[in-house]
Amino acid sequence: MPELREVRALVGGRWLGADTTFPAVSPSTGETFAKVALGDTALADAAVRAAADAAAAWAATPPAERAAHLEEVAGLVRARRDELALMLTTDQGKPLHTEAFAEVDELAQYFSMAAHDAERVAGSLPDSVSAARRVMVRRVPLGVVGVVSPWNWPYTMGAELFAPAIAAGNTVVWVPAPTTSACSGVLAELVAESGLPPGVFNFVPGPGPVVGDAVVSHPLVAGVGFVGSVATGATVAARAAGKAQILELGGNGPMVVLADADLDLAAHESLEAAFLCAGQSCTAGERFLVERPVVAAFVERVVELTRAHVRLGDPFDDTTTMGPLNNEPTAEKFDRHVAEAVDHGARLCHGGQRAGGYPTSLFAEPTVLEAVTPDMLIAREETFGPVVPVVAVASAAEALELTNLSPFGLTAAVFTEDLERGLAFAEAARAGWVNVNASTNLWESHLPFGGRSGSSSGRGRVGGRCVLDALSEPKTVVFPAPRGSAPAWPGRLVP
């Protein structure tokens, strides 16, 4: 058996092991391929203190120098693209050729984007109420930022927070999801190789309730970025009370298909909405609200396309388009939601269970359900699995009502040949992001993304300058006007 890869913590520029490790197990093979340092509260405290020690010097570092470090990371990501993608597929389970390489490419973009944004931070010189004073407002970093990231996009969901945080002049402690700590450790190595000063970037793997909690609640941490579940997000919000927070949480994004929609397009986009990352996406199409006159035709097309194009299998095989679920709790929720729907009258049109014949039990069949009702778990909660639950609606008005009744408010999509109807729906939908004639999973990393205020899908925005602005703050300096520049009396200058 090959030697297990060792994943250590990075604290103050030093790679540290731990007294205890936990195994990294591939969801596609069931094999242990790495041993990961099991961080604890002491290690988390040491990382935060190292970040605090480095904060003042990094905040004083010119933005161009910060940008150069981030561009160096982007270059390292591109240079080691194959290694990063292979480790991602091994650790997370997403197909190598159709998804893993794409995430690595987007990862490089996040670092480059943060580098460019670092050099564009600008202040202002607003007027004072007094001619004898001048005012300068500039953006300054918060200090130490804690980042806790999920396992579905283990590279990009962490980097979308910590890259702009570093660009803004903050120091960072990153706590990755335990089930994808091995691939996250490879990324941490690349960030460290860029030559960032010790303590600017720190990496501590371990259980979220222990290490993540210790970081987000630490008195030296000034800002927190979290991507994950609604329940954990609520805990993070409470534990990080008083700190700047970005919380990107769950979704139950509806894909609305109106009777005048291009059904071929809608069915095609449904595959990406439901089966990208095996449905393990906060932006997934979690319920499909279809006008009754076209339900039968829509379901028929989706089933045909699923049979023809969705290839469940070994994620390293170049013909595979969907790999296993990442972990057993996620798979169990998929089982429970599908079973509850069928027990209450939903019709199973395709799939519906775990697939046999694979090294692990985490391979779930791509699933299509018809006659789903809004009260079923699969329509109310975030399933996080490969399923198209079709809910028949009488009208666009009913689809909008069901959209807005949900406690979630992350993404939505609407399909219609009438652009005016589509825009009207988009404006009225209670969601932070709405796509017209495109999958709920369509997003562009430079655009603001996050949950609608008042929903359970989070607060704040990621994307582009959003994180950099949220994890920095304006600082106002008022000072006397230069002598001779402000008239003391009309027509007279101060001598």
Residues 409, 471, single domain; the answer is: no
Domain assignment present for residue 411? The answer is yes
**Residue 269 catalytic?**
no
Q: Which of 183, 282, 349, 466 is catalytic?
A: 282
Residue type, 53: D
pLDDT given at position 18: 86
Q: Which of 99, 103, 160, 248 is catalytic?
A: 248
pLDDT given at position 489: 46
- Domain residues for the domain of 402 are 254-436
**Residue 282 catalytic?**
yes
Residues 188, 295, single domain; the answer is: no
CATH code of residue 190: 3.40.605.10
d(CA 220, CA 222): 6
DSSP code of residue 213? H
Q: Which of 85, 90, 82, 86 is nearest to 28 (CA)?
A: 90
Residue 373 CB: number of other CB atoms within 10 A? 15
**CA separation, residue 18 to residues 25, 118, 200 (Å):** 19, 35, 21
Q: What is the pLDDT along the chain (495 residues), one digit of tens a residue?
A: 468 999 999 999 999 988 899 999 999 999 999 999 999 999 999 999 999 999 999 999 999 999 999 999 999 999 999 999 999 999 999 999 999 999 999 999 999 999 999 999 989 999 999 999 999 999 999 999 999 999 999 999 999 999 999 999 999 999 999 999 999 999 999 999 999 999 999 999 999 999 999 999 999 999 999 999 999 999 999 999 999 999 999 999 999 999 999 999 999 999 999 999 999 999 999 999 999 999 999 999 999 999 999 999 999 999 999 999 999 999 999 999 999 999 999 999 999 999 999 999 999 999 999 999 999 999 999 999 999 999 999 999 999 999 999 999 999 999 999 999 999 999 999 999 999 999 999 999 999 999 999 999 999 999 989 999 999 999 999 999 998 765 554 444 444
Residues 200, 267, single domain; the answer is: no
Residues 307, 407, single domain; the answer is: yes
Domain assignment present for residue 490? The answer is no
Residue 210 CB: number of other CB atoms within 10 A? 16
Within 344-488, residue ranges assigned H as helices are 377-380, 396-405, 419-428, 466-470
Residues 258, 244, single domain; the answer is: no
> Which residue, 385, 406, 436, sits at the end of a domain?
436
Give me the number of domains the chain comprises. Answer: 2
d(CA 273, CA 286): 8
Residues 96, 153, single domain; the answer is: yes
Residues 90, 125, single domain; the answer is: yes
Residues 240, 271, single domain; the answer is: no
Residues 320, 406, single domain; the answer is: yes
Helix (H) or strand (E) segment spanning residue 103: helix 101-118
CATH code of residue 420: 3.40.309.10
Residues in CB range of 469: below 8 A, 6 or more apart: 139
- Please answer whether residues 225 and 174 qualify as being in contact, where contact means their C-beta atoms are separated by less than 8 angstroms: no
Residues 398, 282, single domain; the answer is: yes
**CA separation, residue 213 to residues 143, 184, 250, 312, 459 (Å):** 18, 19, 19, 36, 19
Residues 29, 122, single domain; the answer is: yes
Residues 119, 196, single domain; the answer is: yes
